[in-house]
Chains A and B, each alone.
Chain A
Amino acid sequence: MITLTHFLVVSACIFCIGLYAVLAKRNTIMILVGIELMINAAILNFVAFGKYDKVNYGGQVFAIFAIVLAAAAVAVGLAIILNVYRHFNTINPQNIHELKD
């Protein structure tokens, strides 16, 4: 039988993969992908913990909200990346270090 722990483990794995992508990828698009993975890991947790609210299905509802918000956030992120590319002619985050003091 598939228990809560299985969900959580899968979720943690996805989160870690997403985290890795965010920290290590040399392409901003892939970082955005990593962020999506991490969001999806969180949403998976919402859905998994949703079994404790069988009246309102609060977990499932919140997950749908989160999916919509994530889609919107990705749209904004892509727009930023497009502008960054226009400005720097690259989307490699290592070459973009204007944040340095």
Chain B
Amino acid sequence: MNTFLHISPVTASILVTLLPLFACLVQALIGKKSISGNIALVAIIASTGISLFGVFLPIWNETTTLQKWAWFTIGERTLEVGIHLNNLTVLMQLLVCIISLPVHIYSRAYMKNDEGIHRYWMYLSLFCFAMLGLTVSINLLQLYIFWELVGFASYLLIGFWFTKETAVQANKKAFLINRIGDIGFLIGIALVYAHCGTLDLSVLFNQTGTQIAIDKNATWVTFAGLAFFLGAMAKSAQFPLHVWLPDAMEGPTSVSSLIHAATMVAAGIFLLCTVFPLFNDTVLLVVSIIGTLTALSAAIFALGQYDIKKVLAFSTISQLGFMMVGVGIGAWNAAMFHLTTHAFFKCLLFLCAGAVIHEMAHLKAKAKLDIDPQDLRHLGGLRHFMPKTFTCMVVASLSLAGFPFTSGYLSKDSIVITAYEWANHLGGVYVLIPILLTIVSLLTAFYIGRLIFKTFFGDFKYRSYIDEGIVFHEAPSLMLVPMFFLAAGSLFPLFGISLTDYHSAWIMQTLDAGTHSPILAQAHLFIPILLTGGAILGWFMGWRWYVKQKYPLSENNRFVHFAYKQGYLNEFNEHIFVRGTTGLSRILYTFDRYVVDGFTKLFSWLVRQLSVVAYWFDKHIVDGIVNLLAGTMYYIGHLVRHVQNGQLQTYLGFALTIVVLGLLYLLIK
């Protein structure tokens, strides 16, 4: 299979990883002289090509290969870095490449004329490098390094327009919340190293049976699993650590699409899939519950958002919740499948949204309007002006909503059906999880329908400006080509020829989770029908509400407000954590100011008083004695010195006095 220049897959994979880093460094050196982004683009094209032909095709479903190099030795143990190529990692690496490529092309048009574009290309390459390196890391510590790099690159990109206060706040928030997760990841690594003595993934989770025996019921396994999950929660924006993702929309739209589709948020899911053998039932249950909670809460929040990008952000969180449930019920292959399909249609959704925002921003600039170009309330009826964008967006939305003939249909059904089978096998309250997932699926269909209807149907508010001659046109072809490519990827043929059977999709066939609940034949029949029917109903409701203007709820409905405010979670965080922290620091400040400083001040005051006393003693007693002596001597000398005045007669008088005194003495004696 290896026909690509006859290089080994490992070398090819290193090339794939290092090319974007190289592009980043070159761009950093050249700086403002290169604003076209050709360096980054060439690097990612080469990476994609090598990744597909040099890595993916030789490895996928064929073999597992790895190579290690000793990094450093501590005591007896040597830490190794290396490349780990198996089905999971090559799929992930290829996915990152394939999603990054259209984003790069799209960015050329979208970011044109931006002042900081040279920085943009640099960061974008760095971001790709970090994510590509993360996918093929063999060592948990190596993975952690790339994990941090991904976080850092996303911090740079979210705050790309750093002159905007909100952008700065958003990247700070993203970074801080990711730190919480990073702590979890680090604790997990430490626990694994303490108990297994190695961080090598190929040794830890070797499928061939030579793996280190891990007692799954041990307490530390539960803790380690939860710690890894905490890391994934922050990275993959799981409730309640999802708050950074909607704010991260402050970055350029092309960056949002990359963050949401293949990099950053996907890293969390990927991590869980990688360390999946470590998880025991307790951890998996927690993962499922958090995933369900995330999916549900995000879907509800998405209903109330007016910002076009925030709707998509919450839909991402919701879909990530699905993937988490996939991992939690043991079907991590379904999660990866959904991750892959989701990457395509979510990237496409963002790129379409970006095209709409781009054109709206132009209209805003030309017509000198004072509107937010991302606000759904200002959009409407755009299908007449941007038919191609409209088509792409509908394809992506249908895929997200899980309509037949789309990739989303296959992957989402795979998770929901597996969840039903899992719940059926376990029985009891576990059934709640698939039921909630079904509800979330219907909500998903509704909110994405709402987005489409509000954006592309109805009347365009600013039609009068266009009638006056201001041009409002389709997105440029440089943006459309990547969109068409992704739209093709959002349809079912890319993943499997069967319309309904997700088991026959090639990703599902190769990736084998190894844990199966008994198959329910009815589930495979009824659930797709239920989901599709529900989705169509949802779209129909959306049509009636938003296009036919039969909106049944008032603006001030409490539920709408609750969803718009994202469940008051930000306010909750603000009140509890931010205020709590500032309150605590204020108390500590007061303590420091009055107690600690008070002691110091009291002490210094005492010393000062003591020194005043000592000074007084020194000045008046010690000096006093000396001065008194000196003064006395001076006075005596003063008395005598009148005699020595050079006056002849005084000397005579003095001599006479002495003689007289001597005579008197002699007489009296």
Contact = CB atoms under 8 A, between A and B. Distances in A.
A99 interface: yes
B63 interface: no
Nearest to A24: B649
A99 B648 contact: yes
Contact of A98 (B646, B652, B653, B656): B646
A22 B649 contact: yes
A101 interface: yes
A4 B574 CA distance: 129
B656 A93 contact: no
A98 B651 CA distance: 13
Contacts of B646: 97-101
B554 interface: no
A86 to B, nearest CB: 18
B649 A23 contact: yes
A22 B22 CA distance: 117
Contacts, number: 29
A85 to B, nearest CB: 15
Contacts of A100: 644-647
Contacts of B656: 19, 23
A93 B645 contact: no
Contacts of B653: 23
Contacts of B648: 93, 96, 99
A94 interface: yes
Nearest to A93: B648
Nearest to A94: B647
Contacts of A94: 647, 649
A36 to B, nearest CB: 15
A23 B656 CA distance: 10
Chain B interface SS verdict (over half):
helix
Chain A's interface size range is 10 to 19
B653 to A, nearest CB: 5
A93 B656 CA distance: 18
A60 B653 CA distance: 31
A88 to B, nearest CB: 12
Interface string B640-666: 000011111101110010000000000
Interface string A1-35: 00000000000000000010011100000010000
Interface residues of B, number: 10
Nearest to B651: A99
A96 B648 CA distance: 8
Contacts of B651: 99
A67 to B, nearest CB: 23
B462 to A, nearest CB: 112
B647 A23 contact: no
Interface in B610-669: 644-649, 651-653, 656
A97 B656 CA distance: 19
A23 B647 CA distance: 10
A80 B149 CA distance: 113
Nearest to A96: B648
Interface in A66-101: 93-94, 96-101
Interface string B364-381: 000000000000000000
A46 B469 CA distance: 153
B644 to A, nearest CB: 6
Contacts of B652: 22-23
Contacts of A97: 645-647
Contacts of B647: 93-94, 97, 99-100
Contacts of A99: 646-648, 651
Most buried by B among A19, A96, A98, A99: A99
A24 to B, nearest CB: 7
Nearest to B641: A101
A101 B649 contact: no
A31 B648 CA distance: 11
Contacts of A96: 648
A62 to B, nearest CB: 23
A74 B645 CA distance: 26
Nearest to A99: B646
A50 to B, nearest CB: 25
A19 B644 CA distance: 20
B573 to A, nearest CB: 94
A91 B243 CA distance: 114
Contacts of B649: 22-24, 31, 93-94
Contacts of A31: 649
A94 B651 CA distance: 12
Contacts of B644: 100-101
A22 B652 CA distance: 8
Contacts of A101: 644, 646
B637 to A, nearest CB: 12
Contacts of B645: 97, 100
Given A23-B656, A97-B646, A99-B648, 13 more contacts: A23-B649, A23-B652, A24-B649, A93-B648, A93-B649, A96-B648, A97-B645, A97-B647, A100-B644, A100-B645, A100-B646, A100-B647, A101-B644
27 contacts: A19-B656, A22-B649, A22-B652, A23-B649, A23-B652, A23-B653, A23-B656, A24-B649, A31-B649, A93-B647, A93-B648, A93-B649, A94-B647, A94-B649, A96-B648, A97-B645, A97-B646, A97-B647, A98-B646, A99-B646, A99-B647, A99-B648, A100-B644, A100-B645, A100-B647, A101-B644, A101-B646
Closest 9 CB pairs of A and B: A100-B646, A97-B646, A99-B646, A93-B648, A23-B653, A23-B649, A93-B649, A97-B647, A100-B645
